[in-house]
């Protein structure tokens, strides 16, 4: 490996080289065997920058940055790089590994004498993601793994590049994906009495994971019936099989084509999650959604499906005044009107979540209370649960969960 540590021109990993800890790490590696006040100062700067960024050590920080940051190599996930680009990738990855190794080898004493701030670093990665980072970090530091280029390209073909490589849930905002660092990923076992809807959702999602033609899915039901919980639970259930959830706000539907193209080359499967979807009659945001559901001249990637929840079977709100005027000059006004109202029909799969009655509500309460170890049980539990529903949100799965959360534990 070359000893030159000059940064390559035009980085393939811009998020890595702009990280706050990169400059002190690279400067420390340039010090060679020199010791003294400047090296100690750089070691302190590095320790602080790593801790603030949530990383325990330089190799882990670099590996995380390589996997979760932007890279032009993302377009080649799962397929061979062109020869010229492969050479550039090898050169830059060798440079990055050399920076880590020289900083470790030449200034271990300075780094050891710097304040130990690793305990401040937050463990934000789940075990499966931490394993990917550890594998690449070992290659960067010269462990038993293959060289950094081989390891990185193998991971690129497995989990891709960008925040979704290491995070089960991301959010689409301002033209880029942002990781959701503390996602709420419920266990489906808490969704008592929804075996039918959950089975349909699971079968469709497994088709997506298998590379088949999965349907876009509309989950319809009353407030608190478990629609959103079911979709969020998918990320927990299937994350290690390569499923990722992308949260998409309804007001950002106009950028849907851009998002789909960003996800196209990735080796993972993506569910685009739009919660509480509904449109006004004069709302033009439904058109990008309609284009995605119907297809167009651009082939739809097979690794993307859209799941939307709504408490309206017809997604476009209709009022009498929204109906075409019989005296309107637009002879096709009714065609446009029906096109908007038929938007829900363009989802390949519509799953209905039933409204809970008193019996179903109490079944959910009993199951959740038993799982949580609540002190109340039997007739006392039922009476408290019914009183809670009467004074709060009625009979629903959400009300059942909220009620059980208020109970003291009997453990």
**Integer CA distances (angstroms), 12 to 38, 73, 136, 150, 255, in order:** 30, 7, 17, 16, 25
- Indicate if 24 and 65 belong to the same structural domain: yes
Report the pLDDT averaged over residues 133-150: 86
- Indicate if 252 and 388 belong to the same structural domain: no
Cβ contacts of 237-242, under 8 Å, gap ≥ 24: 237/188, 237/202, 238/205, 238/206, 238/209, 239/126, 239/128, 239/168, 240/128, 241/209, 242/159, 242/209, 242/267, 242/268, 242/269
pLDDT at position 4 is 40
Whether residue 213 lies inside any domain: the answer is: yes
Question: d(Cα 1, Cα 392) in Å, to the nearest integer?
Answer: 67
- End residue of a domain, out of 333, 353, 373: 353
User: Count of CB atoms within 10 A of residue 168's CB?
Assistant: 22
- Indicate if 194 and 253 belong to the same structural domain: yes
pLDDT at position 183 is 93
- End residue of a domain, out of 353, 372, 397: 353
Q: Does 351 or 223 have the greater pLDDT score?
A: 351
Question: d(Cα 89, Cα 161) in Å, to the nearest integer?
Answer: 14
CA 391 distance to own-chain centroid? 36
Average pLDDT for the chain: 82
Report the pLDDT averaged over residues 232-255: 94
339 pLDDT exceeds 80? no
12 pLDDT exceeds 50? yes
Whether residue 102 lies inside any domain: the answer is: yes
- Indicate if 66 and 81 belong to the same structural domain: yes
Angle at 289 between CA 69 and CA 266, to 5 degrees: 30
Query: Which two tokens mark 66?
Result: 């390589």
pLDDT at position 317 is 58
- Mean pLDDT lowest among 7-11, 93-97, 131-135, 271-275: 7-11
Q: Does 106 or 85 have the greater pLDDT score?
A: 85
Q: For residue 134, name the pLDDT band (cuts at 50, 70, 90).
A: very high
Report the pLDDT averaged over residues 65-83: 90
**Sequence-ordered strand ranges (E) for 206-262:** 217-221, 243-247
Whether residue 87 lies inside any domain: the answer is: yes
- End residue of a domain, out of 309, 329, 353: 353
Please state the domain count of the chain.
3
239 pLDDT exceeds 80? yes
pLDDT at position 106 is 54
Whether residue 318 lies inside any domain: the answer is: yes
Report the pLDDT averaged over residues 205-223: 93
Partners of 217 in the beta sheet? 307, 349
Report the pLDDT averaged over residues 278-305: 76
pLDDT at position 37 is 57
- Indicate if 40 and 157 belong to the same structural domain: yes
45 pLDDT exceeds 90? no
pLDDT at position 271 is 98
Report the pLDDT averaged over residues 59-71: 93
pLDDT at position 355 is 80
Question: Domain range spanning residue 143?
Answer: 14-165
Angle at 30 between CA 27 and CA 33, to 5 degrees: 125
Whether residue 179 lies inside any domain: the answer is: no
DSSP string of 374-392, one letter each residue = BS--HHHHHHHHHHHHHHT
- Indicate if 193 and 218 belong to the same structural domain: yes
- Indicate if 248 and 108 belong to the same structural domain: no
Q: Does 162 or 31 have the greater pLDDT score?
A: 162
CA 57 distance to own-chain centroid? 25
Residue written as tokens 């062109």? Answer: 82
Max mean pLDDT among 39-43, 299-303, 321-325 falls in 299-303
- Which backbone phi and psi does 218 adopt, to 5 degrees? -110, 120
- Indicate if 331 and 213 belong to the same structural domain: yes
pLDDT at position 145 is 61
How many helices and strands (H and E) does the chain possess? 16, 7
Q: Is 44 exposed, middle or buried (0-12, 13-18, 19+ CB in 10 A)?
A: middle
- Indicate if 370 and 280 belong to the same structural domain: no
pLDDT at position 283 is 64
220: domain CATH number? 3.40.50.300
- Indicate if 201 and 346 belong to the same structural domain: yes
- Indicate if 154 and 257 belong to the same structural domain: no
Question: d(Cα 313, Cα 104) in Å, to the nearest integer?
Answer: 60
Partners of 273 in the beta sheet? 247, 307
Q: For residue 53, name the pLDDT band (cuts at 50, 70, 90).
A: confident
pLDDT at position 8 is 42
Whether residue 315 lies inside any domain: the answer is: yes
320 pLDDT exceeds 60? no
Helix then strand then coil, % of the chain, to nearest 5: 55, 10, 35
Max mean pLDDT among 5-14, 71-80, 164-173, 298-307 falls in 164-173
pLDDT at position 5 is 40
**Integer CA distances (angstroms), 250 to 254, 290, 303, in order:** 9, 13, 21
- Indicate if 240 and 100 belong to the same structural domain: no
Report the pLDDT averaged over residues 195-201: 95
Whether residue 160 lies inside any domain: the answer is: yes
Whether residue 55 lies inside any domain: the answer is: yes
**pTM summary value:** 0.82
The interaxial angle of helices 286-294 and 256-263, nearest 10 deg, is 40
Question: d(Cα 186, Cα 88) in Å, to the nearest integer?
Answer: 43
Question: d(Cα 12, Cα 96) in Å, to the nearest integer?
Answer: 11
pLDDT at position 329 is 54
């Amino acid at each position: 490996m070359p000893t030159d540590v000059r940064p390559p021109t035009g980085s393939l990993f811009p998020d890595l080289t702009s990280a706050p800890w990169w400059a002190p790490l690279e400067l420390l590696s340039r010090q060679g065997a020199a010791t003294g006040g400047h090296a100690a100062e750089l070691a302190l700067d590095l320790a602080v920058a790593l801790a603030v960024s949530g990383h325990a050590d330089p190799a882990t920080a670099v590996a995380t940055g390589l996997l979760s940051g932007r890279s032009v190599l993302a377009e080649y996930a799962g397929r061979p790089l062109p020869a010229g680009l492969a050479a550039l990738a090898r050169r830059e990855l060798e440079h990055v590994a050399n920076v880590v190794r020289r900083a470790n080898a030449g200034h271990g004493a300075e780094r050891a004498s710097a304040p130990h701030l690793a305990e401040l670093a937050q463990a934000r990665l789940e075990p499966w993601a931490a394993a990917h980072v550890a594998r690449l970090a070992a290659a960067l530091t010269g462990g038993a793994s293959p060289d950094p280029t081989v390891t990185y390209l193998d991971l690129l073909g497995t989990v891709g590049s960008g925040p979704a490589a290491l995070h089960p849930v991301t959010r689409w905002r301002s033209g880029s994906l942002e990781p959701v660092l503390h996602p709420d990923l419920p266990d489906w076992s808490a969704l008592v009495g929804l075996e039918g809807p959950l089975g349909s959702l699971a079968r469709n999602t497994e088709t997506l994971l298998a590379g088949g033609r999965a349907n876009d899915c509309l989950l319809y039901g009353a407030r608190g019936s478990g629609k959103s919980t079911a979709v969020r639970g998918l990320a927990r259930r299937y994350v290690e099989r390569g499923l990722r959830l992308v949260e998409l706000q309804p007001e950002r539907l106009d950028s849907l084509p851009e998002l789909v193209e960003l996800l196209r080359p990735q080796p993972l499967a993506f569910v685009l999650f739009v919660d509480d979807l509904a449109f006004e009659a004069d709302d033009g945001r439904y058109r990008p959604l309609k284009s995605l559901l119907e297809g167009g001249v651009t082939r739809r990637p097979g690794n993307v499906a859209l799941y939307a929840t709504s408490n309206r079977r017809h997604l476009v709100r209709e009022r009498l005044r929204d109906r075409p005027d019989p005296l309107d000059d637009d002879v096709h006004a009714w065609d446009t009107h029906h096109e908007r109202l038929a938007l829900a029909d363009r989802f390949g799969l519509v799953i209905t979540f039933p409204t809970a009655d008193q019996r179903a509500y109490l079944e959910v309460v009993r199951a959740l209370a038993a799982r949580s170890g609540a002190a109340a049980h039997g007739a006392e539990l039922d009476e408290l649960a019914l009183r809670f529903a009467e004074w709060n949100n009625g009979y629903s799965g959400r009300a059942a969960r909220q009620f059980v959360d208020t109970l003291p534990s009997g453990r």
